[in-house]
Chains A and B, each alone.
Chain A
């Protein structure tokens, strides 16, 4: 791929990212194709939402971007630098301070035996952002106030079990903010939270985007929240990104049969009351272990053609900034 055409407006540019996990015995190794040829770009100050069902490769993709697991093939350009070349073995401190993660489960991502202050002070000390007890304490309080946790000085001394789920997720966000990141990878940050407090977290994420220009990769299985927060939506199926583009474009004009199926399955009271009728058995996601060639959705696709079983379609433009990988649209 041509490395010269990475616009400076793109904070993240992922090209052909692939991850295979070996399974089985020494003599009979097989490969789980968890992520296959995933490409997307993220502009500075925007949110790209990766949407897909469980097992579609969303989390594996961002774990590769976060450099938590090695990449099988593909390239990751962060701020125009090919980071797999510039820091091939391990992410540098600089990269880790610019790219932060928020996990799904705020009950598991905070250490039960440490106070909130300890969690927020660690990145400040490790990345040498603050020194001295007072300065660290002040920064911790600032961070807590940024995520609307008040009174900050009091809550800083509490333990995770003394906070509600929503407060814990806010602490996890504050911890990510401690190092002043440019990109936050948010892995289903609201799916474990009570419904009435989810919007508060999404609104906080949006506010930080506006105020600090932070870019996000937002992972979700929920198309409605992807639309709410995402500027771009990438739909993943069985390790592939099958359709991507501007979020309103995808919501209103999805062309891939899988995206259409996914959209039709979302309960949406505002679209008018529908009664569930008919017996659609849409089949199941194919096995990712040594998958058959062709489009992974072919077995379930209502518009399947013979070519779909032979090879994976290339990316085709639908409108400006909206593309699809489907033989129906290949020229």
Chain B
């Protein structure tokens, strides 16, 4: 996310997505910019409705009406994903960027064996059947499932194993970027930890980058190298994970940090954040967080704060700075 001489793997610039509703356009993603460097794990954190998943879907161009991408670029190398035609996208998706969705149960076809679902993506991208079968075996070993399970249907696997199978499918073509949209939210903590550990090991071995989307900030601090905090369709703060954890600046980030009780250390009262997230048909004027902000100033309701760089890689959009 920091400007560095290495060219980023993916560079999102001023991305805008609206949902057309009868009440008017909902600005779900409003001018979002960030970059993913090779080998990074970028965490995108925010509450439901903040636009995290919309960004993931927009990057892969899998949004359907009433969602509409109204502006911005997504540069992968020197190619803009937003300008690709359908044929290009068909080849680009999965071999360059793949995605793991939240609910494995909904992303696997219940009437197809896991093996066929794995082969499907590889055959589509030109592998021979023999190679694809061999790769399927390797992939299952890689994600820690007994390869004999290839011949089962999704309902015969536990939730954790289904999510592992989905990860195997996502890694089938060895993509340089993996988008994970709340991959472990539906799973129990022990299974979640197992799967994340496995992904961390695979990432070291295979060298892919990850865009990790979650509402669980404490998980991100452990898992990612960079974190971007979203609120009401905008990125309010982004920084390297350690920097964000030790020196959070935006009042919303501080509020989020104050919303997770801890299992260790001094027990003190946590306040959370008063109020609830805004209606994006009519977002608040100025800074969208100002109605809930404990440090609100007169200017906050008048002008939208610009994003400023506080230290290398640490960007914040707040009138306090």
A→B interface (CB under 8 Å): 53-54, 164-167, 194-200, 202-203, 221-225, 227-228, 248, 251-252, 261-271, 273-282, 284
A contact patch SS: helix
Flag B212-228 by CB within 8 Å of A: 1 or 0 each: 00011111011100000
Are A275 and B259 also in contact (CB < 8 A) when A227-B267, A269-B245, A281-B194 are?
Answer: no
Q: Mind listing 17 A-B residue pairs with CB under 8 Å? A: A165-B276, A195-B256, A197-B273, A199-B258, A199-B272, A224-B260, A251-B264, A266-B263, A267-B219, A267-B223, A269-B245, A270-B264, A271-B264, A271-B265, A280-B194, A281-B144, A282-B194
In Å, the complex CA distance between A146 and B261 comes to: 24
Are A194 and B277 also in contact (CB < 8 A) when A200-B272, A265-B193, A277-B200 are?
Answer: yes
Return the contact of B242 from the options A228, A248, A273, A279 (Cβ within 8 A): A273
Total A-B residue pairs with C-beta atoms closer than 8 Å?
A: 138
Whether B188 pairs with A53 at a CB distance below 8 angstroms is yes
* B48 at interface, CB cutoff 8 A: yes
Whether B259 pairs with A195 at a CB distance below 8 angstroms is yes
Return the contact of A276 from the options B218, B222, B265, B271 (Cβ within 8 A): B222
In Å, the complex CA distance between A251 and B265 comes to: 10
Q: Closest 10 interchain pairs by CB?
A: A199-B272, A228-B261, A53-B188, A265-B193, A196-B273, A269-B221, A164-B276, A224-B261, A194-B47, A267-B219
In Å, the complex CA distance between A14 and B250 comes to: 47
In Å, the complex CA distance between A198 and B264 comes to: 19
In Å, the complex CA distance between A167 and B191 comes to: 32
In Å, the complex CA distance between A165 and B47 comes to: 12
Beyond known contacts A195-B256, A228-B267: 13 more, CB 8 A cutoff: A164-B276, A196-B255, A196-B276, A197-B272, A198-B259, A199-B270, A227-B261, A227-B263, A265-B193, A270-B262, A275-B200, A279-B197, A279-B198
Whether A282 pairs with B190 at a CB distance below 8 angstroms is yes
Whether A271 pairs with B262 at a CB distance below 8 angstroms is yes
Chain A residues near B223: list those with CB within 8 A: 267, 276
Return the contact of B193 from the options A164, A223, A248, A280 (Cβ within 8 A): A280
Chain A residues near B219: list those with CB within 8 A: 267
* B87 at interface, CB cutoff 8 A: no
* B192 at interface, CB cutoff 8 A: yes
Chain B residues near A221: list those with CB within 8 A: 188-189
* B201 at interface, CB cutoff 8 A: yes
* B160 at interface, CB cutoff 8 A: yes
Whether B196 pairs with A276 at a CB distance below 8 angstroms is yes
* B269 at interface, CB cutoff 8 A: yes
Chain A residues near B200: list those with CB within 8 A: 275-277
Chain A residues near B196: list those with CB within 8 A: 276
Chain A residues near B194: list those with CB within 8 A: 280-282
Are A199 and B271 also in contact (CB < 8 A) when A223-B263, A224-B261, A264-B193 are?
Answer: yes
Beta-carbon nearest neighbor of B193 in chain A = A265
Most B-side CB within 10 Å, residue of A165, A195, A275, A280: A195
Are A198 and B272 also in contact (CB < 8 A) when A228-B267, A281-B144 are?
Answer: yes
In Å, the complex CA distance between A227 and B241 comes to: 26
Whether A54 pairs with B197 at a CB distance below 8 angstroms is no
Most B-side CB within 10 Å, residue of A166, A273, A281: A281
Are A195 and B190 also in contact (CB < 8 A) when A203-B269, A263-B263, A275-B200 are?
Answer: no
Whether A194 pairs with B193 at a CB distance below 8 angstroms is no
Whether B189 pairs with A262 at a CB distance below 8 angstroms is yes
Expressed in whole angstroms, the minimum distance between the Cβ of B236 and any Cβ of chain A is 13
Chain B residues near A282: list those with CB within 8 A: 190, 194
Chain A residues near B158: list those with CB within 8 A: 284
Whether B270 pairs with A228 at a CB distance below 8 angstroms is yes
In Å, the complex CA distance between A203 and B268 comes to: 12
In Å, the complex CA distance between A275 and B260 comes to: 19
Expressed in whole angstroms, the minimum distance between the Cβ of A278 and any Cβ of chain B is 6
Chain B residues near A200: list those with CB within 8 A: 272, 274
Flag B234-255 by CB within 8 Å of A: 1 or 0 each: 0000000110010000000001
Beta-carbon nearest neighbor of B196 in chain A = A276
Whether B189 pairs with A195 at a CB distance below 8 angstroms is no
Most A-side CB within 10 Å, residue of B158, B190, B219, B274: B190
